[in-house]
Chain A
Amino acid sequence: MVNAVRSAPERPFLVAVPPAVAVAALLFYTASNAHGVRLATLAGIYALLVIGYQFVFGRLGALSLAQGAFFGLGAFVTARLGLADLPFLITFPAAIALPALVAALVVGPVLRLQSYYVPLVTLGLAQMLFIAALSSGDIAGVPTIMFLPGLELPRGPAFAIFVWVLAIVGALIAWSLSATHFGRFAEVVRDNPVAAGAVGLDAGRMRLQGFVLSAAYGGGAGALHAHLTGVVSPADFSLPVMIMCLAMATVGGRRHVTGGIVGVVLLNLAVEAAGLSPLYQPIFYGLMVLIALYWLPDGVLGLLERRFAPLSVVVSPAPQAIPARKAARIAGPLLAVRGITRRFGGVIAVDNVSLALHPGEILGMIGPNGSGKTTLLNALSGLSPAQTGRIFLSGRDITNLAPHEVARVGLARSFQTAQLADRLSALDNVAAARAALNGLDFGAIVQRARAETAFARARAEAMACLDIVNLVAAAATPASQLVPADRRRLEIARALALDPLVVAFDEPAAGLDADERDALAALLKQLAARGLGLIVVEHEVAFLRGIATRLACMDAGRLIAIGPPEIVMADPKVAAAYLGAGAVGGGRIK
């Protein structure tokens, strides 16, 4: 069978040709321009700035607003150390290292949080650095605008070439990273943070890595800018640099490394040709951002990609079985839940729940809406951790693990509405989970072949998982184009890719027709027969009756009955809960 599978996030055509054309246009323009060399140098500096910014903004989809401040910090460090007569070989690394350090120490811990804090924390950092730059003159007795003393770097064309060599090296590093695990993982993190957790990816850590890298690039660009202009002022920290960077990134193409180069050249030439004064440039750049968001959401490169470089076609890999988990399985239950409680404000969504799950068992969870079933699954999978009580997976305490850690140690889950990376193919949604188990490999930047082999194997193993859920034919289809029943199955394949001990399903049969339900029931039984423990939250009691070895009923956060299906169904408490004679349901979070 031949499937069209995207082999890499970017094709060589798109990586090389558009930026080459853009740079040729720049050279053509600058050759005929009085201060052309300066213009070309500036473009190279901004290219470095924007390529760095793409790590966090384009690849990971986090709206950082500190890139301008890192640029300013790099310039500031260069000026300060330059005034102390330190050589370029010391000032330049320092100008790269300090912003990276600030990014890691100040903002890093917070980036693990929800992405809506990213603009706040980065904007606050930018504001603090701006104020510090403004007031540093008064404090240290140094003028806020510093003219650099004699520059050891040559000026003119030699400096322009030096800057562009750095920009191209920077682009190559960025491209290598995006073409290996980092790029594929980043797609999952950007598309759907919940899915990232479910495949075992630490989105916060990746955001931190991307952020530190972007700060380093920004600092380097700022240093070069200080060398070019010989002037550093607090204005270098302020918003105009940030909005310029955003405009260049969005116009060129957020999702492409070389989009930065194309955007930089296009906008630089436009500003130059129009002779816009610096005062009004932010208005132009802001307008460009809006226009790009409206009509070119993936920028010029996104447009070119759709036009000229359709998805590359490769033969789908032959399925390769997943090697068995090496972890020693201890005697006793696979999953032991001991008295866990989860509150939301005054509402007790899960109230002192205890249960055990054994290998090969299918535990059906029933209960009225809002009785806490989904909250229980969220507590098990680390999405909203239990506040009291403990959870043990094969003897290991997983109570306080983050979602990606829970996924890695062997508790996988599916969601009420499937949480998938919609832009990725079905195959890569699963392969990401396989690859994530092996961790991120930064050595891959220099050893591309090793990384490629590893990812190819992850894909082959992912094919085996797709085979189990009978989804091989859809391997190349983007997840967004799958019908709901197939999205469910894809989630199951992804769970299997984690080689789990326990899989928790949240209403897997909802919205399926009779045939699809039968297929799902058969699949769940097959998984249980392999020795997995399954928890299946489901409204359809009829569906559960056919497969569950035991039933558990929740009401108002409490587990009111657990045991063989016929006994639980005959329990008057269960009937009361469903007929509303019992307590009114507690908090419901989905």
Chain B
Amino acid sequence: MEPLQLIVDAFALGGVYVLVALGFVLVLNGIGAVNLAHGDLVTLGGFIAIAAASWVPMWPGIVFLPIIALVMAVVGALLAAITPMRRRSDTPEEMSLATFAVGVMLAAALTGLYGTTPISGPPLVGNGQIGLFGAAISRQSVVIILTAVILVPAVHLLLNHTQFGRRLRAAGQDPELARALGIDTRRMAAATFALGTMLAGIAGLLLADRFTISPTFGLDLLVKSYVAVAIAGWGQVGAAAGVALAIALFETAVSTVAAPAIADAVVYVVLLVLLAFQPQGMFGPAAQRRA
């Protein structure tokens, strides 16, 4: 493959990982617990795209983006309703356990419907290529990168420069204080879940378009975004996105010379070493879990 195409593809994969990690860290900050269903929500988004494309095969994949965003936001709100966050006594472990159960159920259901062989979704804007510096570049990859480049600052604006975003962060950082200030923390948790799941679904659509998707990918995607968050520093939104991008670039680089599994193994070993020697992550924790 042409080097330039490879680089663009690496950044396209990076764009997907960034969106996955962003949704993951949002939910983490919003509910103070790890959403272990996050990877399976990504694959769910991808399979919704595939299902939609089979109903209306003429439509380009990009048309499904707002539809998937909407459907996945509803899925996220439902997920928030069934994870046991309604009782204040629930520990983060119990919340994570509930999301793990949901994730396994999703993966099993998708496996029942589609099997485990990786498949591709509808092309976003047709399979054409565009010329760039004399090289032919897949239009898909460019659209994925553009989508990520638009969405990431949009999420940043939403969180840091809107009243809704401030309430959301307040509810996640100190639920008791937020409740005292009249913020409905349960509703905020549901909104966080909806937003995070939406991002997961969009990432799934993009992943299915340019690359392939299988129900078994969920776990892998979850571990990657979890690793990105741990390396970046617990709860650091921007740094997590940066590390997710770095993981994608590293993975693509390694897979040109060796099996992709080697890259996964290296990332995991790096994580273990880092946690053993620099447990705060590279950029320190942003979210302090309540004692």
- Contact status A289-B227, CB under 8 Å: no
Say whether A124 faces chain B, with CB atoms less than 8 Å apart: yes
- Known: A65-B100, A115-B93, A287-B105. Is A239-B219 also a contact (CB below 8 A)? yes
Question: Whole-angstrom distance from the CB of B32 to the nearest CB of chain A?
Answer: 9
- Contact status B102-A290, CB under 8 Å: yes
**One of A62, A135, A415 near B259 (C-beta < 8 A):** A135
- Most-contacted residue by chain B among A61, A106, A285, A289 (CB, 10 A): A289
Q: What B residues does A293 contact at CB under 8 A?
A: 84, 94, 97-98, 101
Bitwise interface map of A from 288 to 304 toward B, beta carbon under 8 Å scored 1, else 0 = 01100110010000000
Nearest residue (CB) in A for B92 is A116
Nearest residue (CB) in A for B86 is A294
Q: What B residues does A106 contact at CB under 8 A?
A: 272
Bitwise interface map of A from 272 to 298 toward B, beta carbon under 8 Å scored 1, else 0 = 000000011111011101100110010
Q: What A residues does B96 contact at CB under 8 A?
A: 63, 119
Say whether A246 faces chain B, with CB atoms less than 8 Å apart: yes
Bitwise interface map of B from 97 to 131 toward A, beta carbon under 8 Å scored 1, else 0 = 11011101101110110000000000000000000
Report how far A345 CA is from B284 CA in the complex, Å: 8
Report how far A240 CA is from B104 CA in the complex, Å: 8
Q: Which of B55-110 contact A (CB under 8 A)?
A: 82, 84, 91-94, 96-98, 100-102, 104-105, 107-109
Report how far A131 CA is from B217 CA in the complex, Å: 12
**One of B91, B97, B108, B289 near A114 (C-beta < 8 A):** B289
Q: What B residues does A345 contact at CB under 8 A?
A: 284
Q: What A residues does B82 contact at CB under 8 A?
A: 290
**One of B33, B268, B284 near A128 (C-beta < 8 A):** B268
Question: Whole-angstrom distance from the CB of A289 to the nearest CB of chain B?
Answer: 4
Interface residues on A, range: 35 or more
Report how far A123 CA is from B84 CA in the complex, Å: 22
Report how far A415 CA is from B291 CA in the complex, Å: 11
- Known: A110-B276, A289-B97. Is A131-B265 also a contact (CB below 8 A)? yes
Q: What A residues does B92 contact at CB under 8 A?
A: 115-116
Question: Whole-angstrom distance from the CB of B147 to the nearest CB of chain A?
Answer: 28
Nearest residue (CB) in A for B98 is A293
Say whether A318 faces chain B, with CB atoms less than 8 Å apart: no
Q: What A residues does B288 contact at CB under 8 A?
A: 589
Q: What A residues does B33 contact at CB under 8 A?
A: 116
- Known: A239-B219, A282-B108. Is A194-B291 also a contact (CB below 8 A)? yes
Report how far A246 CA is from B82 CA in the complex, Å: 18
Question: Whole-angstrom distance from the CB of A259 to the nearest CB of chain B?
Answer: 15
Report how far A62 CA is from B226 CA in the complex, Å: 17
Question: Whole-angstrom distance from the CB of A198 to the nearest CB of chain B?
Answer: 11
Q: Which of B208-245 contact A (CB under 8 A)?
A: 219-220, 222-223, 226-227, 230, 234
Q: Which of A99-149 contact B (CB under 8 A)?
A: 106, 109-110, 113-117, 119-121, 123-125, 127-128, 131, 135
Question: Whole-angstrom distance from the CB of A544 to the nearest CB of chain B?
Answer: 25
- Contact status A121-B272, CB under 8 Å: yes
Say whether A91 faces chain B, with CB atoms less than 8 Å apart: no
- Contact status A120-B272, CB under 8 Å: no
Report how far A164 CA is from B186 CA in the complex, Å: 46
Report how far A121 CA is from B105 CA in the complex, Å: 22
Q: What B residues does A589 contact at CB under 8 A?
A: 288
Say whether B275 faces chain A, with CB atoms less than 8 Å apart: yes
Q: What A residues does B104 contact at CB under 8 A?
A: 239-240, 242-243, 282-283, 285-286
Write the residues of chain B forming the contact surface with A, with a CB cutoff of 8 angstroms.
33-34, 36, 82, 84, 91-94, 96-98, 100-102, 104-105, 107-109, 111-112, 219-220, 222-223, 226-227, 230, 234, 259, 261, 264-265, 268, 271-272, 275-276, 279, 284, 288-289, 291
Q: Could you list 20 A-B pairs, sorted by A, with CB under 8 Å?
A: A63-B96, A63-B100, A110-B272, A110-B276, A115-B92, A116-B33, A119-B226, A120-B227, A124-B223, A124-B272, A127-B219, A127-B223, A131-B265, A239-B219, A240-B108, A247-B101, A281-B108, A289-B98, A290-B102, A419-B291
Q: A242-B104, A282-B108, A294-B84 are in contact. List 16 more A-B contacts (CB 8 A).
A: A63-B93, A63-B96, A63-B100, A114-B234, A119-B36, A123-B222, A131-B261, A240-B104, A243-B101, A246-B97, A280-B108, A281-B108, A282-B105, A285-B101, A287-B101, A344-B284
Q: Which 4 A-B pairs have the closest CB atoms?
A: A286-B105, A289-B101, A282-B108, A286-B101
